[in-house]
Structure 1
Amino acid sequence: MTSLSGSLPVDNGAANTVREIAQQPALWREVDRIVAQARPSLDAFLLPLTARADLRVVLTGAGTSAFAGRVLQSALGRRLGRRVDAVSTTDLVADPRGCLAADVPTLLVSFARSGDSPESVAATDLADQVLSDVHHLVITCNPQGSLARNHADRPNSRVLLMPAASNDQGFAMTSSFTCMTLAALLALGGEAPGGIAERLARAAEWVLEDAGVERTIAALVDRAPERLVFLGSGALKGLAEESALKVLELTGGAVVAMSESSLGFRHGPKAVLNGQTAVVVYVSNDPYTRQYDQDIVAELRAGLAPGSVVTVSAGPRTPSQAGSADTWLLPDLEGVDDVALALPAVVCAQLLALRSSLGRGIRPDNPFPSGEVNRVVQGVILHSLHN
């Protein structure tokens, strides 16, 4: 990926992060094959559950893994015709009786890069304790993690392992996030449009390889914004949350990043804007929803300096129409569901976070060398739930 790594310093502390961002298109193709091969087993496990009209699906994880659920929630709800809720493990562990108050048949879908975070295992244990009828689909990148091992042989569980390379060794989750999100969409979303994984992979390859994309990202980073805001609607609000976390993580907190919905931003969060703020708006493919995204873009561009507001949206394949410094277009994705659009779109945010980190002399593979924030969370004390 020449445009991603060719212009970076050799000793920049970013080798893992660069490799893990760049490998995503190849891994998405592998995820497509993994899910296809597992389809008979997955269908035998999932179809009797999703046939139940009273089924509740809970998508859970912590941090980036929780945002995978938020990206997927609305699309899976529509496709399954069932109640689907994204509930982070951090909320579930802290308040299991509140998060699982309805004792209905439940499919708990757990997303975990390592599967060794304390809340990952605790969330599944608490669900078993609180609910009378619960099944588990574990989507993880680490076959040796506690979560995968604990659920490997349980009759009410299935473990779906991601490609080995998706178990990111860099600090921030990149390929692990996109692989798990795609796997859940393919496994639970019913019949996906033919070749969707290939279309997404090609769009991401274009983002990674096109010099024009490199220039647009560099133009925004060169502004050295102190604050970065990401906005999106529906599934793209979950993407905005993940994007803000990537910038916050990879810059070691040097850039303050936040997220909101396109409509919600006016209700107080807009106070974050100042002369050193840049805004990235993810524009929905849904014609109705897109109107609200475009409204906030117009409003923000009227009030902020030129180049401070960037849009990311589906667009034409022709390189000459690939966009400008304030319009980043993802090729050949017009009309795809926003949950799918989110995957190549997040690559833009990953590259923006990477460049912002390097531009401040931070080493992205380990932006917290003193250890105050860790790759796998530490310091959590789990407390017993007494019925």
Structure 2
Amino acid sequence: MDASVLTDLPAWQRLGGAYTAEEIAQQPRMWTALADLLDDAQARIDRFLGDALRQPGQLVIFTGAGSSGFIAEMVADHINAQWPAEVRAVHTTSLLTHPALYLRRDRPTLLVSFGRSGSSPESVAAVELVRDRVDDARFLDITCNADGELARRGHGRSDTLSLLMPPPSCDRAFAMTSSLSSMLLAALSVFDSAPWPQRVQRLRSLASHGERALQAWDAAVGALAQATYSRVIYLGSGPLEALAREAALKVLELTAGQVLALANTPLGFRHGPKSTLNGDTLVVMLRSAQPLSRRYEQDLLNELRGDGIAARVISVGPDGDDRADGDFVLDAPTLDDSWLAPLWLLMPQCYALQRSAALGMTPDNPFPDGTVNRVVQGVTIHSHG
């Protein structure tokens, strides 16, 4: 299959990927819409949070499962570094199995849940778990579905704030794309310590840069996806480690596991995972904006390119003097890595879409047999009493 332009929806309709293509392409518009939405909701958000983040005894848990859990990881450390409160990421899939490791009855806890549908069994059960096991518990639900269980159950409760994303971000396709980037940027905007107007302006700046990235990278990503790499390795450090995991998951999902995708850190990769390299491997480094991190990344890029074992080694990130031919770079705004993550995610999303189509699959539903579902099924929630 020849690569199709991301915005050629009739072509993607024929390929069974119109929803995925449209939802990737609409992300800059969603970020602009999110800026307007958050501007309108500022007073309600500020009233709900109060001074909780300034209290050292306050615990804030960002949570979700799968891609939503990766949002939590991309956000938590960045926010934790700014406030006296303890902020951490815990996937619902760990919170439900080992609640005693994370919850204390006498510790005020704010559970921030991410959910595209808001109806996954783990998301709903995590809220009930925290409500049952913590005396002073509150809940901020960041979700894309006004009709989902999180929004429905939280409606009218004084201990809960539901923050709904722009309606088109409730992705219809199998894979989370615009839902993920919208919820990620919403959390950063709500919890960052920068003045509110500055946070909202960041969203508008990222939207502008996102439009440029999609236009600049479209053809090159399509061409890259025509190469028959059977392994893809994404590498990232700090918040970009979770971004690498999300990027790898997109390839696994949209190719139904036909392409093996792994994630690691630039420093961790040498500690065993480097053994996965062979002549059929594509390595993608997700570049940090931090100078120290970039030096470590560049060391590994030089090493991997010099080894000549992997079929191809490229990077995605801010433009700089260390760019190489074939890298996906952008003159990015001066922001921390968590804020820039949605920009760099555009390339892996487009690659997964194009690779799926190149394999003759239907990206909107890569599992027509129902073995994996858009909203997780088959989960039994067991009593924690």
TM-score normalised by L of structure 2? 0.94
Q: Does 1:216 align with 2:215?
A: no
Does the 8 Å contact 2:54/2:85 carry over to 1? Answer: no
Does the 8 Å contact 2:141/2:160 carry over to 1? Answer: yes
Q: Which amino acid aligns with 2:330?
A: L
Q: CA deviation at 1:324?
A: 6.2
Q: Which amino acid aligns with 2:69?
A: A
Q: Which amino acid aligns with 1:293?
A: E
Q: Percent identity?
A: 41
What's the counterpart of residue 158 of structure 1?
A: 161
d(CA) in 2 for partners of 1:242 and 1:173? Answer: 10
Q: CA deviation at 1:202?
A: 1.4
Q: Figure out how many residues of one structure are paired with residues of the other and give that number.
A: 378
Superposed counterparts of 1:79-90, under 5 Å:
79-90=82-93
Q: Which amino acid aligns with 1:243?
A: A
What is the RMSD computed on CA atoms of the aligned residues? 2.0
What's the counterpart of residue 113 of structure 2?
A: 110
What's the counterpart of residue 360 of structure 2?
A: 361
Q: Does 1:250 align with 2:254?
A: yes
Partner SS for 1:79: coil
Does the 8 Å contact 2:241/2:265 carry over to 1? Answer: yes
Q: Which amino acid aligns with 2:267?
A: L
d(CA) in 1 for partners of 2:184 and 2:119? Answer: 19
Task: Extract unaligned runs of 5+ from structure 1.
Answer: none
State which of 194, 216, 221 in structure 2 corresponds to 1:191: 194
**Relative to structure 1, is the Cα distance of residues 249 and 139 closer, same or farther in structure 2, using a 3 angstrom cutoff?**
same
Does the 8 Å contact 2:116/2:143 carry over to 1? Answer: yes
Task: Spell out, residue by residue over 1:199-247, the C-alpha distance to the aligned partner (whole angstroms, 9 max, x if none).
Answer: 211111112222xx23432343232110101110001111101100111
d(CA) in 1 for partners of 2:295 and 2:176? Answer: 31
d(CA) in 1 for partners of 2:366 and 2:28? Answer: 25
Q: Which amino acid aligns with 2:361?
A: I
Task: Spell out, residue by residue over 1:31-84, the C-alpha distance to the aligned partner (whole angstroms, 9 max, x if none).
Answer: 111111111111111123112121111100010000001111121112224321
d(CA) in 1 for partners of 2:152 and 2:138? Answer: 16
Partner SS for 2:163: strand
Q: CA deviation at 1:102?
A: 7.6
Task: Spell out, residue by residue over 1:83-124, the C-alpha distance to the aligned partner (whole angstroms, 9 max, x if none).
Answer: 211101111111111232584211110000001100011001
d(CA) in 1 for partners of 2:16 and 2:80? Answer: 41
Q: Which moved more, 1:216-225 or 1:106-115?
A: 216-225
Q: Which amino acid aligns with 1:226?
A: S
Task: Spell out, residue by residue over 1:112-157, the C-alpha distance to the aligned partner (whole angstroms, 9 max, x if none).
Answer: 0001100011001101122222111100000111111111211111
Moved over 6 A (4+): none
TM-score normalised by L of structure 1? 0.93
Task: Extract unaligned runs of 5+ from structure 2.
Answer: none
**Relative to structure 1, is the Cα distance of residues 325 and 226 closer, same or farther in structure 2, using a 3 angstrom cutoff?**
farther
Does the 8 Å contact 2:82/2:192 carry over to 1? Answer: yes
